[in-house]
């Protein structure tokens, strides 16, 4: 649009093109400019289609679920019971695997939820990716003396509350680190930079963010 407006103005002896190159040269740039535009547009179209076709249906569904999870997390609020009792100042909340790939987390003292990605479980510790951070940060969930704690890299740990259903069902929903990495390779999922890759897995096969 900018190019076409510039050419149109050049035919009247006005515009930046006419000012820089003169009216005759500016008019002569009309078709080369249009050809350059369509060349770039076609290249972008082919690249976009190639990238889209290269994504597996499973990964496409996962990305859509992530986007939906972010929207839902932004809409969620602590319960009235939490706010009225003041417990939100003492506890955070974590609800993961609400549906496949969807997890919500609220820091202690915050009234808003964020979407976090559950990665894997290893030696009883559950690992998450806090996507709202730049760059994303690792968060772990573990239980100590009957109390659940979350700790983000570089931050103090905090007590968190988990929904009751996770106390019984979580073991059936979780995967270990090896299965997580195998799925990442198979479905070409991006693995956070902070996840250490075992020596017997070819790191060149892992897509990093």
Using alpha carbons only, give the angle 134, 140, 141 rounded to the nearest 5 degrees: 135
**Residue 103 confidence class, pLDDT cut points 50, 70, 90:** confident
| Whole-structure pTM value | 0.67
Distances (CA, A) of 179 to 61, 89, 96, 122, 187: 19, 36, 18, 11, 12
* Percentage of residues in the chain having pLDDT higher than 90: 33
Secondary-structure breakdown of the chain: helix, strand, coil percentages, each rounded to the nearest 5: 45, 20, 30
**pLDDT tens track for 146-161:** 999 999 999 999 999 9
Residue 165 is encoded by which pair of tokens? 């259903």
Instruction: Please state the rounded mean pLDDT for residues 10-25.
Output: 57
For the stretch 55-62, contacts whose Cβ atoms lie closer than 8 Å and that sit 24 or more positions apart, written own/partner, are 55/188, 56/187, 56/188, 58/187, 59/187, 59/188, 59/189, 62/101, 62/187, 62/189
**pLDDT tens track for 117-140:** 999 999 989 999 998 898 999 999
The predicted pLDDT at position 151 comes to 97
């Amino acid at each position: 649009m900018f190019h076409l407006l510039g050419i149109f103005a050049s035919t009247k002896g006005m515009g930046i093109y006419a000012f820089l190159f003169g009216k005759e040269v500016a008019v002569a740039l009309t078709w080369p400019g249009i050809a350059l535009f369509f060349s770039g547009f076609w290249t972008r179209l082919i690249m976009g289609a190639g990238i889209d076709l290269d994504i597996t249906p499973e990964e496409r569904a996962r990305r859509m679920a992530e986007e939906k999870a972010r929207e839902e997390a932004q809409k969620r609020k602590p319960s009235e019971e939490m706010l009225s009792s003041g417990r939100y100042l003492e506890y955070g909340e974590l609800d993961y695997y609400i549906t496949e790939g969807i997890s919500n987390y609220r820091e202690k003292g915050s009234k808003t939820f964020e979407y976090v990605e559950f990665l894997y479980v290893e030696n009883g510790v559950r690992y998450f990716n806090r996507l709202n951070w730049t760059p994303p940060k690792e968060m772990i969930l573990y239980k100590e003396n009957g109390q659940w704690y979350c700790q983000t890299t570089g931050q103090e740990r905090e007590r968190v509350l988990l929904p009751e259903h996770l106390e019984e069902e979580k073991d059936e929903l979780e995967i270990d680190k090896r299965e997580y990495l195998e799925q990442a390779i198979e479905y070409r999922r991006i693995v956070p930079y902070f996840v250490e890759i075992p020596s017997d897995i070819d790191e060149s096969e892992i897509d990093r963010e």
